[in-house]
Amino acid sequence: MSWKVAFLPEVADDIKRIDGSIVAQIRKGIEKVAENPLPKSEGGYGEPLGHIGGTNLTGLYKIKFRGIGQRVVYALKRTETEMFVVVIGMREDNEAYREAGLRRSKHQL
């Protein structure tokens, strides 16, 4: 059973800044992870985040796209089996993680 995938409103802007061929790869990755976005410790695909570059991202998870340098950060709403995409961004300089921290505070995730 796949989890429902929802996106923060800001993710639409993230997607606009990315080349279309890369967006297709990211969508496939999100679809795959949505099949079981739970942490790896619970048998899922989720890679838990902690403190990165001075930003506390505990409770959030990431999807790494190594070949294209992109990261997707997401949160889980376990009571609703919903996977919330928080940010899609570059790995460089922890850009995606800094933005995830800001959005986490703004949306109280």
Residue ranges of domains in the chain: 4-107
Determine the pLDDT at residue 34. Answer: 94
Distance CA 72, CA 18 (A): 13
Determine the pLDDT at residue 79. Answer: 74
Q: Looking at the whole model, is its pTM more than 0.95?
A: no
Percent of the chain with pLDDT over 70: 99
Which uninterrupted H or E stretch holds 106? Answer: helix 95-107
Where does 8-94 have alpha helices with state H? 11-16, 20-34
Q: What is the CATH code of the structural domain delimited by 4-107?
A: 3.30.2310.20
Could you please report the per-residue DSSP string of 45-69? SBEE--EETTEE-TT-EEEEEGGGT
Residue 9 identity (one-letter amino acid): P
**pLDDT value at 109 more than 80:** yes
